[in-house]
Amino acid sequence: MLLLRRGLSLKVLRKEVDRACFGEKAKQIMRPDDANVAGNVHGGTILKMIEEAGAIISTRHCNSQNGERCVAALARVERTDFLSPMCIGEVAHVSAEITYTSKHSVEVQVNVLSENILTGAKKLTNKATLWYVPLSLKNVDKVLEVPPVVYSRQEQEEEGRKRYEAQKLERMETKWRNGDIVQPVLNPEPNTVSYSQSSLIHLVGPSDCTLHGFVHGGVTMKLMDEVAGIVAARHCKTNIVTASVDAINFHDKIRKGFVITISGRMTFTSNKSMEIEVLVDADHVVDSSQKRYRAASAFFTYVSLSPEGRSLPVPQLVPETEDEKKRFEEGKGRYLQMKAKRQGHAEPQP
């Protein structure tokens, strides 16, 4: 929900639009439908707001010059941490800025602040980096070129290029290793992978899609967070909140009328956190000649909370099969790597 200004002259309005190509801001009050029973706003709701801001600013930029009209489609979301919970009644301030462009992609940085409208206090809840590609309105399978941006410092372009090359490599690696599917197991034991794994089947309707017939990235992320949340809640039987999301890779578009299966399974637990892998597969309902394909994948991290909002210990996952043990060790490696990174960034104590 963007706030639009009234009473602007055409000349001033054009200036506002020019600035909007490089910065986008939106505000939205959090309502009960946006939160869980404990009053914490769903991580998927915040991810959806982040993606909407990114889609607006990148689509505006990609159409800022004369040429074929296009719409920006989400290709990847880098790891994002949920730094502070947001609650019902607070106002979410979402700001987006273009930080790098390659020939065929746009990097957008998005920040989210929560505001207590009674006290005026604000706090940072999320920082996210998203990558978009411009798709032709005439043919959504055609990727167009991106207008370049002017950098204030040459180092900004060089740093952006390094980020672009790194995400491109990681995205390709993830696409090839995500070929497996989540299979149901009868009568699973508590604390096992099979006990908490969950799936959601969703028919993609018009309200889920852009005007051009493919699903909003934010809609997909919201559904992924819902499934991951169910897995986490089943495992620990407490109130849970999203702590972070590893890179979300969008491998292919999902079109209107397709059926998507969002599957989640526990991969790793530390003392106070749970890592859940979420896979999104798409099927054509009518055309059986089109094969099922992997549309998106990511790892979500959740924490367990007491009714007072304090962090609780997490029941330890019991991997049974060799694949589950392998995924557990891979998740442990990601956890230790991120823990070391956080400690390295921590300010030294006096």
Q: What pLDDT does 335 receive?
A: 95
Of these residues, 225, 239, 246, 249, which one is catalytic?
Answer: 225
CA nearest to 191, candidates 315, 60, 290, 278: 315
- End-to-end, the C-alpha distance of the chain in Å comes to 44
C-alpha distances (whole Å) from 289 to each of 7, 19, 258, 283, 295 are: 54, 47, 13, 10, 17
pTM of the model: 0.86
Q: What pLDDT does 49 receive?
A: 96
Per-residue pLDDT of the chain (350 residues; tens, 9 = 90+): 333 333 333 333 233 333 434 577 889 999 999 998 888 999 999 999 999 999 999 999 999 998 899 999 999 999 999 999 899 999 999 999 999 999 999 999 999 999 999 999 999 999 999 999 999 999 988 999 999 998 988 899 999 999 999 998 887 777 655 657 777 777 899 999 999 999 999 999 999 998 888 999 999 999 999 999 999 999 999 999 999 999 999 999 999 999 999 999 999 999 999 999 999 999 988 777 788 899 999 999 999 998 888 899 999 999 999 999 999 999 999 999 988 887 876 554 44
Q: CA 212, 217, 218, 220 torsion: positive or negative? A: positive
Catalytic (active site) residue 111? no
Tell me the sheet residues that pair with 263: 199, 279
Class of domain 21-166: alpha beta
Domain coordinates in residue numbering, the chain: 21-166, 182-343
| CATH code of domain 182-343 | 3.10.129.10
Residue 72 has, within 13 A of its CA and on its CB side, a CA count of 30
- Check for a shared fold between 21-166 and 182-343: yes
Extract the tokens encoding 63. Answer: 């159409």
Of these residues, 36, 81, 111, 191, which one is catalytic?
Answer: 36
Q: CA 204, 206, 211, 217 torsion: positive or negative? A: negative
Catalytic (active site) residue 36? yes
